[in-house]
Amino acid sequence: MTGERAASQVGLEETDSGVLINIRAAPGAARDKILGIHANALKIAVCAPALDGKANKALCRVLAKKLGIKRSSVSLHSGKTSRNKRLLLAGIGKAEAADIVAEALPGGKRSR
C-alpha cells in the first residue's frame, strides 16, 4: 500500500502542529498491536482497559512505538471516552505520516 493510499484510507489531516490521525481503539486486547484499517481509521488493540484514561495512554505509547516516533510527539486530540479518537502526531508532515503509517500496517516493513 502506498503512503498516499494509506493517508486517504486512515484520514490524515495536516494542521499547524502536525498531523491528526483517526484511530479506532480496541481496549482490553490480549496484546498491543495495529490491526489494520477500519472505517477510515487505524485500528489499534491495546491490553489496557478503558478505565481512567489507561487505554488512551496505551494508544499513544503503542502508536509512537509502531511508527518509530517519540512518545511525546503523540497526544490525544479528541475522543477521550469514545472508541473513535483523533491523535495528534506533532512535528511531522502529512506525507511523512502517510509513509510511516503504511509501513506500520500489517504486511508493511515495520509490522513484522
From first to last of its 112 residues, the chain has per-residue pLDDT tens of: 555 666 678 889 999 999 999 999 999 999 999 999 999 999 999 999 999 999 999 999 999 999 999 999 999 999 999 999 999 999 999 999 999 998 888 877 654 4
pTM of the entire structure?
0.88
pLDDT of amino acid 112: 44
pLDDT of amino acid 110: 54
Give the whole-angstrom CA distance, residue 96 versus residue 38: 21
CATH 3.20.20.100 fits 3-104, yes or no: no
The domain ranges of the chain are 3-104
pLDDT of amino acid 70: 95
